[in-house]
């Protein structure tokens, strides 16, 4: 075996010195490579650590676009969307029912809290209706009937009025759970 250590008068200590210098060299090499390797790993995984756009305020419409009689209107939510490594500017990410109640605006996610189907507004009956389980909801989002399969009322969303513009904090929630839990 060839060794980089200088020859010593005692042949029995030569192997130990060589081994020690190789261990020290390996440690220095490991420390020198750890920084760039960790930096590359963090850069690669960074998109997975970024916060999602869920829960951000999104401008949906003008207040004048909502009927004063409280009739709900459906509006698409257009926002920047991204997955782990791709960004999609100005994409449809969901929809919301808005209705004017006096000087306030109520917002409900169009996804049924039972099984994730899209609810519809039934103008004839003046209710929200889920076609998947025939669930019925009042205009204020409350479940109708004591036997409703939906575990909770419609998912209401936070609304802000900014100089006659309607802004909504858009979020999707877990379905088929009794409590409103935002999706990540």
pLDDT band at 53 (very low <50, low <70, confident <90, very high): very low
What kind and span of H or E run contains 92?
A: strand 87-101
As a whole number of angstroms, the distance between CA 119 and CA 92 comes to 17
Per-domain residue ranges of the chain: 1-49, 57-169
In three-state secondary structure terms, 25 is helix
Evaluate the CA torsion angle 137, 140, 145, 151 in order and state its sign: positive
As a whole number of angstroms, the distance between CA 31 and CA 127 comes to 66
Q: How far is CA 19 from the centre of its chain?
A: 53
CATH class of the region 57-169:
mainly beta
Q: How many CB atoms lie within 10 A of CB 124?
A: 5
Residue-wise pLDDT for 6-22, tens only, equals 555 555 555 566 777 88
Residue-wise pLDDT for 115-156, tens only, equals 899 999 999 999 999 998 888 999 999 999 877 888 999 999
Report the candidate in 26, 9, 104, 98 with the shortest Cα–Cα distance to residue 58. 98
pTM of whole model > 0.85? no
């Amino acid at each position: 075996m060839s060794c980089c250590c200088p020859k010593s008068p005692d042949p029995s200590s030569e192997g130990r010195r060589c081994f020690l210098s190789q261990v020290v060299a390996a440690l220095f090499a490991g420390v020198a490579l750890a920084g760039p390797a960790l930096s590359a790993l963090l850069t690669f995984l960074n998109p997975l650590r970024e916060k999602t756009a869920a829960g951000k305020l999104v401008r949906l419409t003008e207040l004048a676009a909502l009927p004063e009689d409280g009739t709900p209107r459906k509006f698409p939510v257009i926002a920047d969307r991204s997955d782990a490594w791709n960004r999609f500017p100005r994409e449809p990410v969901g929809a919301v029912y808005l209705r004017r109640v006096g000087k306030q605006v109520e917002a409900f996610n169009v996804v049924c809290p039972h099984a994730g189907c899209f609810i519809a507004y039934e103008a004839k009956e003046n209710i929200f209706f889920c076609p998947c389980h025939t669930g019925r909801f009042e205009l204020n989002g409350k479940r109708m009937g004591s036997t409703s399969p939906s575990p909770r009322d419609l998912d209401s969303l936070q609304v802000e009025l900014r100089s006659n513009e309607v802004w909504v904090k858009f979020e999707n929630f877990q379905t088929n759970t009794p409590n409103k839990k935002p999706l990540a």
